[in-house]
Structure 1
Amino acid sequence: MSETIVLVVDDSRVSRMMTKSAIERLRPDWVVLEAASGEDALSAVALDRPDFILMDVNMPGMGGLEAARQLRPRLPKAGISLLTANIQDSIRDQAAAMGVGFMSKPLRDEDLAAFLAAGRPPS
C-alpha cells in the first residue's frame, strides 16, 4: 500500500506548522510536505505526487489561485483546497470553477477531517 501525501502550501511558516500539526493529529500515518510558495508547490509535485493539497491564496510570487490552475490538470485526482483568510466570494467562485475547494482560516478540525476523508471540504 502506498503512503498518502499531503502538501501544505503557505508563505507563513507558522501557518504551515499549525496546518501540519492538525493533519498529523488526524492522520498520524500520512506524510505531510511543505512548500512556501506557488512556485515551490509546482516543484514539489514534480518530485512527489500528493493526494491532497492545502494552499494559501495570498503569497509572494505565484499565488494560490494560479498555482491551483496549474496543478489541477497535473493532478486531476488530487483533493485541492484553498486555505485562506481571504474569504471574498470572487475567490470562492474562482476556486469552484476550477474544481478546487475552499476553507477559511483559522482551520477547523472538522473541516480538515471532511476534506481529508472526501478530497473536498464540506459545503
Structure 2
Amino acid sequence: MTDVATKQTKTVLIVDDSRVSRMMARQYILHLQPAWQVVEAGTGEESLDKAREAQPDLVLMDVNMPGMGGIAAAEQLRRASPTLPISLLTANVQSATRERAEALGLGFMEKPITEARIAQLLALAED
C-alpha cells in the first residue's frame, strides 16, 4: 500500500473574527494538504459549536475576538479534548498571554499568517 493510500484525512478548525485571515489560512492549508477538511468559525462561541460538530484534529485560534476571546475558547476546548492540538494566532504576544497559553498546553503562531507557519502548524496533526 502506498503512503497516499494510507494517508488519513484531517480536519482543521480555523477560528478568527477576520474573514481575510480565515481565507488565507484555508488557502495555505488546502495548498499543503488538499485532502484535508477546513472548518471556520468567526467567534470563540461559534468555535465551541463547530468543534463539537466537526471533531477537529487541529485548531488555529485567534486570541483577540469580540465576545469570547481565543484563550477562553481554547480553555473550554482543552477541557473537552485534552490532547487536541490548539495553536493561538496573534499579532500581540504579551508575556501574560504566552504564560497562560503555555499553562494550557497551547501552541503559538504569530501573525501575519504565512505558508511556512501554516506548514509548521499542520505538522502537529500529521501522523
TM-score past 0.5 threshold: yes
Superposed CA RMSD in Å reads 1.4
Partner residue, 2:101 = 95
Q: 1:54 deviation in Å?
A: 0.3
Of the candidates 49, 64, 67, which is equivalent to residue 55 of structure 2? Answer: 49
Point out 4+ residue stretches in structure 1 off by more than 3 angstroms.
none
Of the candidates 62, 65, 68, which is equivalent to residue 68 of structure 2? Answer: 62
1:25 aligned onto 2:31:
yes
The more displaced of 104-113 and 6-15 is: 104-113
Q: Which has the higher contact order (CA 8 A, sep 6+)?
A: 2
- Ranges in structure 2 where 5+ consecutive residues have no aligned partner: 1-5
Q: Partners in 2 of 1:106 and 1:70 — Cα distance?
A: 25
Partner residue, 2:3 = none
Q: Aligned residues, how many? A: 119
TM-score by length of 1: 0.90
TM-score by length of 2: 0.87
Q: 1:118 deviation in Å?
A: 2.5
Partner residue, 1:74 = 80
1:37 aligned onto 2:22:
no
SS at match of 2:13: strand
SS at match of 2:71: helix
SS at match of 1:118: coil
Partner residue, 1:109 = 115
